[in-house]
Amino acid sequence: MKRFLMFLSLCGLLYTTGCTHKEEEKEEETKFLVTNPLKNDTTITNQYVCQVRSIQHIELRALEKGYLQKIFVDEGQVVQQGQIMFQILPIQYQAELQKAQAEANFAEVEYKNTKSLADSNIVSKAELALAKAKLDKANAEVTVAKVHLGFTEIRAPFTGIMDHFYVREGSLLNEGDLLTTISDNSKMWVYFNVPEAEYLNYKTHAQEENLDHVNLLMANQQVFDYPGVVKTIEADFNNETGNIAFRATFPNPKGLLRHGETGNIQMTLPLKNALIIPQKATFEVLEKKYVYVLDKDDKIRSREVAIAAELPHIFVIKSGLKPDDKILLEGLRQVKENEKIHYKFLKPDSVINNLSLYAE
């Protein structure tokens, strides 16, 4: 009897242990979060390396040879249109003007005498015409001498900012020697190159979406206060790079931008029916992006995807997925290829709208 009771107790213990083990297995069964790609209209912001240029940036060169007598401005100074900047020693050109003026006076006296004689029929009209030609030539030489003398004063062709000097006072200048450069920074031209596919997207939606406005991300990673407007696109693509050059004009009322700066143009483009997934649903192998997709048997299969654009927390898929594919949202490091999983499905719009709540 005692043995029988012990046998019953042992069976009861084994039954209880087995049930507990099954319950623990059931409780430990992991459910992974799964969702679909979201198909939706969105916008992407593309960035392009750019170069900032003044709307006017020119070299100032000596138009006459001679000694640089005086510099009236300083490097980095704002100069006004017509303001004198450099003075080349004018003595030689003043002397040439005086000589030309004296010859003109002599030719005028000679012409008047010849005209008086011609009026009295003492000399022919041909001699009068010759005297008139000499006077005209002398007056022209006076004009040329005045121009050369004027070239000894170099004035600002427009209001702008001086660059550094290439010469100093007392320098001997030859015609064409570089003195300095001057920049008009009231507006800036910003040049950037756009790939062919993005150019086509831009031209398709530019008018209806008002895409001609762009922003400038400066070298300090701050966005420039004033937006620019795309006003010019070059005629031809670069056959080597497949890009075409754009030019945007930016106002620069505070003078913050200078000629020669670099940065990044930010251009917003619309994407129709874009396929969107969370970035956290992807993993990388040898610089390629992959996701885990569930097959009809709820088994995990890795699949490579091509990324069309990257936005905060999400990727826009170029190829590799369809809207009805089920992708693993979390636990990517806890599963293996061809493993069957239990999952909980989440609607893609709720996933995308609450990405910050689903941190892995």
Residue 4: predicted pLDDT:
47
CA dihedral 144, 149, 151, 154 (to 10 degrees): -160
Q: Please tell me the distance from the alpha carbon of residue 328 to that of residue 341, in angstroms, as a whole number.
A: 10
Counting every residue written for the chain, the total comes to 360
Q: What is the C-alpha end-to-end distance of the chain, expressed in Å?
A: 60
Residue 169, CA distances (Å) to 70, 83, 154, 175 in order: 6, 18, 14, 16
Q: pLDDT grade, residue 5 (50/70/90)?
A: very low
In CATH, what number does 64-175 get? 1.10.287.470
Q: What is the mean pLDDT of the chain?
A: 83
Residue 186: predicted pLDDT:
92
Q: Give the residue among 196, 248, 243 at the shortest CA–CA distance from 217.
A: 248
**Mean pLDDT, range 285-297, rounded to an integer:** 88
Residue 165: predicted pLDDT:
92
pLDDT higher for 157 or 271? 157
**pLDDT (tens digit, 9 = 90+) per residue, 225-284?**
999 998 888 889 988 888 999 999 999 999 899 999 999 999 887 777 888 888 888 888
**pLDDT (tens digit, 9 = 90+) per residue, 206-229?**
665 566 888 999 999 999 999 999
Residue 22: predicted pLDDT:
47
The label of the residue with tokens 């936005």 reads 311
| Model confidence at 25: pLDDT above 50 | no
Q: pLDDT grade, residue 339 (50/70/90)?
A: confident
Domain 32-42+273-356 classification at class level? mainly beta
**Mean pLDDT, range 149-170, rounded to an integer:** 88
- Sequence spans of domains, the chain: 32-42+273-356, 46-55+185-271, 64-175
Residue 30: predicted pLDDT:
76
Pick the CATH number of 46-55+185-271 from 3.40.50.300, 2.40.30.170, 3.40.640.10, 1.10.10.10: 2.40.30.170
Same topology between domain 46-55+185-271 and domain 64-175: no
CB 345 within 8 A of CB 308: no
